[in-house]
């Protein structure tokens, strides 16, 4: 069985995602397409537009299996986000990893990555020097790498993630073939809708109340967005999270040590700003600096609320939590050595450390429930049933 995987967020699932899934399946002639998808919180440190089950079901338009990324993985910087996801996919013994790239052809993307890997030792030294000057890791890494790269537009969020996927595959010595696919027209950073049928997730979220978004989404995905709005009457906002964060850091004064994305000095720095700023946007704006990027502050805030600790990165994950699947996926379930979690009784299969990972995923789901006004423990009640294959 040829297995193709895609590391995803689908926030929301749009025409570009559908294009990449279909095209990569055609290129690889894969028997199964597996999406490992962020749960209710995404890598930029924000709440997902609609819940994970609706996003997963949307992706089933061109996927066979959608599994939930452990919440602590989705709330980390690109290098750890990539490494932990590749570790899970390698255990699933995938053959191919597909991803979108921008500003560069597939051939030149691979050449650029090789150039970076060839000069990695020097880049690491320069990165450390820039970090010592007080720069963020993203900025330091960019300045250290740029002199080895011909195309200065290489450094987009999507391309950096793709580079980290390659780095993780190399370090694990995993037998995974990469399938880079150039995005059609839209850019990840776009905030306005484009004139053709392809627009970025950011632009769709930015225009979520505009009926025109219908042109950029498969009808299945658009219907799930409408269904979510009808159920909860609102799309999630970060303001409530900030209120919880202020309570925890200023009143409970919970220690930030060992929380993912934290480094010494950040706690007092954020306390001071949180005392003065009562609005989420103002807090993020005033806490962002040359050293601490906006995304890092956002990720730290949610990791702190969830108490996601650095030790989670050391756990050997031996399960997958299924969000949606069809009959093709049942073949994989029979072959894999990983534990398959679909209902509450399946949790008994997990060892102590993996139960902690799973509990953190439930905690993240319940935090999302607080924000949208949903009952707790939806993961124990949501029925995961086999879907009809589109292929």
**Residue 12 marked ligand-binding:** yes
> Is the pLDDT confidence value at 370 over 80?
yes
Is residue 284 within 8 Å of 294, Cβ to Cβ? yes
Distance CA 100, CA 53 (A): 23
Residue 233 assigned as binding residue: no
Q: How far apart are the first and last CA of the chain?
A: 15
13 is in an annotated binding site: yes
Rounded to whole angstroms, the Cα distance separating 225 from 258 reads 36
Contact (Cβ atoms closer than 8 angstroms) between residue 98 and residue 4: yes
Q: Which two tokens stand for residue 302?
A: 């949610």
Residue 68 among known ligand-binding residues: no
Count CA atoms within 13 Å of residue 386 on its CB side. 9
Does 18 count as an annotated binding residue?
yes
User: Which homologous superfamily does the CATH classification assign to the domain defined by 1-102+177-233+315-385?
Assistant: HUPs (3.40.50.620)
185 pLDDT band, cuts 50/70/90, is low
Residue 120: partners with Cβ closer than 8 Å, 6 or more residues away? none
Alpha carbon 83 to its chain's center: 12
Q: Is 183 annotated as a binding residue?
A: yes
96 labeled part of a ligand binding site: no
Q: Quote the tokens at residue 56.
A: 């997963």
177 is in an annotated binding site: no
The pLDDT value given to residue 201: 94
15 assigned ligand-binding residue? yes
Are 206 and 12 within 8 A, CB to CB?
Answer: no
Closest CA to 69 of 344, 382, 311, 361: 361
Is 381 within any annotated ligand binding site? no
> Is the pLDDT reported for residue 33 higher than 90?
yes
User: Is 382 assigned a ligand-binding role in the annotation?
Assistant: no
Distance, in Å, from the CA atom of 363 to the CA atom of 359, rounded to the nearest integer, reads 6
User: In this predicted model, what pLDDT tens digit does every residue of 136-151 receive, in sequence order?
Assistant: 888 899 999 998 887 8
User: What digits encode the pLDDT tens for the residues 42-97?
Assistant: 999 999 999 999 999 999 999 999 999 999 999 999 999 999 999 999 999 999 99
Q: Which residues contact 386 (CB under 8 A, 6 or more apart)?
A: 325, 326, 327, 330
CATH 3.40.50.620 residue spans of the chain? 1-102+177-233+315-385
For the chain, where are the alpha helices, taking DSSP H only?
15-28, 52-59, 71-74, 78-91, 106-118, 120-132, 137-145, 157-172, 201-206, 219-232, 239-246, 266-276, 280-287, 294-306, 327-335, 352-372
pLDDT in tens, 290-346: 899 999 999 999 999 999 999 999 999 999 999 999 999 999 999 999 999 999 999
């Amino acid at each position: 069985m040829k297995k193709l995987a895609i590391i995803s967020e689908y926030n929301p699932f749009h025409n570009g995602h559908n294009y990449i899934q279909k095209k990569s399946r055609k290129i690889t002639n894969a028997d199964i397409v597996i999406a490992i998808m962020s749960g209710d919180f995404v890598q930029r440190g924000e709440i997902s537009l609609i819940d994970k089950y609706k996003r997963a079901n949307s992706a089933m338009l061109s996927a066979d299996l959608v599994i939930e990324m452990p919440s602590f993985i989705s709330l980390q910087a690109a290098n750890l986000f990539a490494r932990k996801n590749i570790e899970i996919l390698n255990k699933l013994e995938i053959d191919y990893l597909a991803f979108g790239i921008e500003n560069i052809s597939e051939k030149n993307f691979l050449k650029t990555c090789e150039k970076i890997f060839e000069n990695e030792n020097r880049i690491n030294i320069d990165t450390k020097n820039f970090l010592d000057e007080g720069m963020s890791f993203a900025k330091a890494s960019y300045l250290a790498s740029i002199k080895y790269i011909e195309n200065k537009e290489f450094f987009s969020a999507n391309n950096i993630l793709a580079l980290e996927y390659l780095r993780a595959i190399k370090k694990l010595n995993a037998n995974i073939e990469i399938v880079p696919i150039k995005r059609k027209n839209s850019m990840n950073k776009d905030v306005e809708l484009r004139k053709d049928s392809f627009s970025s997730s950011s632009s769709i979220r930015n225009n979520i109340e505009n009926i025109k978004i219908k042109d950029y989404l498969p009808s299945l995905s658009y219907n799930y967005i409408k269904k979510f709005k009808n159920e909860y009457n609102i799309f999630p906002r970060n303001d409530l999270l900030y209120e919880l964060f202020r309570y925890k850091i200023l009143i409970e004064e919970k220690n930030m040590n060992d929380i993912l994305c934290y480094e010494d000095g950040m706690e007092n720095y954020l306390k001071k700003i949180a005392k003065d700023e009562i609005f989420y946007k103002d807090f993020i704006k005033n806490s962002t600096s040359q050293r601490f990027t906006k995304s890092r502050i956002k990720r730290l805030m949610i990791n702190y609320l969830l108490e996601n600790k650095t030790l989670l990165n050391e756990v050997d994950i031996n399960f997958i939590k299924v969000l949606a699947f069809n009959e093709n996926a049942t073949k994989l379930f029979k072959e894999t050595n990983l534990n398959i979690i679909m209902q509450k009784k399946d949790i008994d299969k997990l060892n102590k450390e993996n139960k902690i990972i799973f509990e953190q995923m439930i905690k993240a789901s319940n935090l999302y429930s607080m924000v949208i006004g949903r009952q707790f423990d939806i993961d124990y009640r949501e029925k995961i049933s086999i879907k009809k294959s589109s292929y």
